[in-house]
Amino acid sequence: MEKPTILVVEDEPAIADTIQYALESEGFRCLRLEVGAGVVEVLDRQPVALVVLDIGLPDVSGVEVCRRIRQRHDVPVIFLTARGGEVDRVVGLELGADDYVIKPFSPRELAARAKAVLRRARSAGSASQSPPSGTAFKLDEERRQITYFGRPLELSRYEYKLLAVLLKRPGRVYSRDELLELVWDAPEASLDRTVDAHVKNLRAKLRDIRPDADPIATHRGMGYSLKEGL
Ligand code: CA
């Protein structure tokens, strides 16, 4: 099988080198560009499985590049962004990116994200062949209620918010830091083990309903995700 090609658009050569090394060790082929101009032309010319796109590019912002890509291609995009950086992360995702990674990031984390995004893209492509799924969880944001196999969960405020974040992007691995920022009101006052404690409680509540299922995956040294295909 031919190696999937990932286009890396990053103006800092040292960062691009690290990314290329990490992706190539995972069996991908890498193309590199240092500016945003020309990205769409590369996509027009050859099949690309995924674009890793720095937001802070010297010529045109990654957000604008993503917009241009979206006019012609539905290739998945992962944004690279500085912490507290150029774009609000949620906005980044709304603009049509599939995921984002905050600098500084570990190459291993980026490679894991890339694989998850590609897995999702593949399963979305073959969705018509598989039976309907997604009945395990139902999220009702207006009522702030989550049901699990038809049973409403009794969740604390943070347990609810934590599970709601995971539910929205199955397969997406969230680091403890990200979860603290997305879920907690005062993340700087909270600790990584706050996240762990809440995940532990959540798991206990889910186990009460279905002892044989463990829908939250732990990624050692990285964080948590909701398992895909539930
Ligand atoms: Ca940059």
pLDDT for 118-166, tens place per residue?
Answer: 888 777 655 433 333 346 888 888 888 898 888 888 888 889 999 999 9
Lowest mean pLDDT among 106-110, 181-185, 187-191, 225-229: 187-191
Sign of the Cα torsion 201, 180, 222, 79 reads: positive
Helix, strand, coil proportions of the chain in percent (round to 5)?
45, 20, 35
Q: For strand 216-219 and strand 151-152, is the pairing parallel, antiparallel, or unpaired?
A: unpaired
C-alpha 90 – ligand 1 centre gap (Å) = 19
Amino acid present at 174: Y
Q: Is 51 helix (H, G, I), strand (E, B) or coil?
A: strand
Lowest mean pLDDT among 29-43, 75-89, 163-177, 187-201: 75-89
- pTM for this prediction: 0.55
Residues of the chain with CATH 1.10.10.10: 137-226
C-alpha 175 – ligand 1 centre gap (Å) = 22
Yes or no: say if 170 and 227 are a contact pair by the CB < 8 Å rule: yes
Token pair belonging to 212? 């044989």
- Residues 15 and 32: their CA atoms lie apart, in Å, by 11
C-alpha 201 – ligand 1 centre gap (Å) = 40
Amino acid present at 154: E
- Residues 20 and 107: their CA atoms lie apart, in Å, by 9
CATH fold for domain 137-226: Arc Repressor Mutant, subunit A (1.10.10)
C-alpha 207 – ligand 1 centre gap (Å) = 44
Q: Is 175 helix (H, G, I), strand (E, B) or coil?
A: coil
Residues of the chain with CATH 3.40.50.2300: 5-125
Token pair belonging to 134? 């997604």
C-alpha 50 – ligand 1 centre gap (Å) = 18
Check residue 92 and give its pLDDT: 56
Higher pLDDT, 112 or 132: 112
C-alpha 34 – ligand 1 centre gap (Å) = 9
C-alpha 86 – ligand 1 centre gap (Å) = 10
Other CB atoms within 10 Å distance of the CB of residue 216: 17
C-alpha 79 – ligand 1 centre gap (Å) = 11
C-alpha 103 – ligand 1 centre gap (Å) = 10
C-alpha 182 – ligand 1 centre gap (Å) = 24
C-alpha 55 – ligand 1 centre gap (Å) = 7
C-alpha 54 – ligand 1 centre gap (Å) = 6
C-alpha 33 – ligand 1 centre gap (Å) = 12
Sign of the Cα torsion 17, 22, 24, 28 reads: negative
Yes or no: say if 61 and 91 are a contact pair by the CB < 8 Å rule: no
Output the CA–CA distances (angstroms, integers) from residue 211 to 68, 122, 215, in the order listed.
47, 30, 11
Output the CA–CA distances (angstroms, integers) from residue 85 to 58, 79, 80, 88, in the order listed.
15, 11, 10, 7
Residues whose beta carbons lie less than 5 angstroms from ion ligand 1: 11, 54, 56
Q: How would residue 207 be classed by pLDDT, with cut points 50, 70 and 90?
A: confident
C-alpha 109 – ligand 1 centre gap (Å) = 19
Residue with tokens 């720095």: 54
- Residues 162 and 157: their CA atoms lie apart, in Å, by 9
- Residues 109 and 173: their CA atoms lie apart, in Å, by 9
CATH fold for domain 5-125: Rossmann fold (3.40.50)
